[in-house]
């Protein structure tokens, strides 16, 4: 018989060991973490302990993720209040710079918008190429890892050659709205932003900034 057939038989006949009770005491199998043999009851106990340990580790991991998410939510809430209090585009720039640096420890960022008059704020409303707008419009969600918009490399000035990881965030006032700008987060740490990372909070950040800019447009 194949091992799979034996396993299937025991699964379909749970009373097998009730019919042969002495077999439990006679069977000895290798210890999963050693070289000696143990009885089936001992092996079951070891398996249960391993399972409990695995579940404890998983619970600790979930608690850690929950605490991290709570921290991010609090920081995003503080930024939201600052954006609500903003009265000018300069207020938005100042609030964003403060909270990205102090709250989220993002060392570098660049912001460009195309829904405000060109002379509103130098730097913020500097013209961008149609290719940049098309690239941003094609983003269904923030793109992390390598710089997704090549032209944005010039937005960081002299620090640009040292940057290794980026998060390109389209600024949409609502999830279905066309983007009104682009926010790029950057870091010298290659693993700070990576392709498989979650983007939920980055999307919310883009919507918050997009809505604040749309309000400035009136």
Asked if residues 111 and 92 have their Cβ atoms less than 8 Å apart, the reply is: no
Q: Report yes or no on 10 lying in a domain.
A: no
CATH of the domain at 101: 3.30.450.40
Going by pLDDT thresholds of 50, 70 and 90, the confidence category of residue 181 is: very high
Per the structure block, which two tokens stand in for 67? 């605490």
- Nearest partner of 147 among 130, 132, 128, 129, judged by Cα: 132
Percent of the chain with pLDDT over 90: 50
User: Is 165 a member of any domain?
Assistant: yes
Write out pLDDT tens, residues 36-53: 666 666 767 777 888 888
In a domain, 28, yes or no: no
25 lies in a domain?
no
Average pLDDT over residues 93-121: 87
What percent of the chain has a predicted confidence (pLDDT) above 70?
90
Instruction: Kindly write down the DSSP assignment for every residue of 40-92, as one continuous string.
Output: HHHHHHHHHHHHHHHHHHHHHHHHHHHHHHHHHHHHHHHHHHHHHH--SHHHH
Tokens (6 digits) for 172: 């949409």
Q: Say what the pLDDT of residue 40 is.
A: 65
Residue 21, in any domain of the structure: no
The reported pLDDT for the residue numbered 8 is 87
pTM above 0.75, yes or no: no
For residue 87, what are the domain limits? 55-216
**66: pLDDT confidence band, cut at 50, 70 and 90?**
confident
**pLDDT averaged over the chain?**
87
* Cα 48 from chain centroid (whole Å): 33
Domain count, the chain: 1
pLDDT of residue 138: 94
Residues 152-170: pLDDT tens digits?
Answer: 999 998 999 999 999 999 9
pLDDT score recorded for residue 74: 93
Question: Which residues contact residue 217 at a Cβ distance below 8 angstroms, ignoring those fewer than 6 apart?
Answer: 115, 116, 180
**Per-residue pLDDT at 13:** 85
Write out the H or E segment, with its range, that includes residue 7.
helix 3-12
């Amino acid at each position: 018989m194949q091992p799979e057939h034996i396993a299937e038989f025991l699964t379909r006949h749970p009373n097998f060991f009730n019919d042969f009770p002495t077999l439990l005491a006679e069977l000895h199998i290798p210890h999963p973490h050693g070289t000696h043999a143990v009885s089936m009851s001992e092996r079951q106990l070891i398996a249960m302990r391993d399972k409990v340990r695995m579940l404890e580790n998983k619970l600790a991991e979930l608690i850690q993720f929950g605490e991290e998410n709570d921290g991010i939510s609090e920081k995003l809430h503080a930024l939201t209040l600052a954006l609500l209090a903003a009265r000018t585009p300069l207020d938005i720039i100042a609030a964003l710079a403060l909270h990205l640096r102090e709250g989220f420890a993002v060392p570098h960022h660049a912001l460009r918008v195309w829904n405000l008059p060109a002379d509103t704020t130098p730097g913020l409303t500097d013209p961008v190429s149609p290719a940049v707008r098309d690239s941003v419009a094609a983003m269904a969600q923030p793109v992390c890892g390598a710089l997704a918009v090549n032209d944005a490399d010039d937005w960081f000035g002299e620090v640009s050659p040292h940057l290794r990881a980026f998060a390109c965030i389209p600024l949409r006032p609502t999830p279905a709205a066309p983007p009104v700008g682009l926010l790029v987060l950057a870091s010298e740490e290659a693993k700070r932003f990576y392709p498989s990372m979650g983007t939920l909070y980055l999307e919310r950040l883009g919507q918050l900034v997009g809505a604040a800019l749309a309000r400035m447009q009136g």
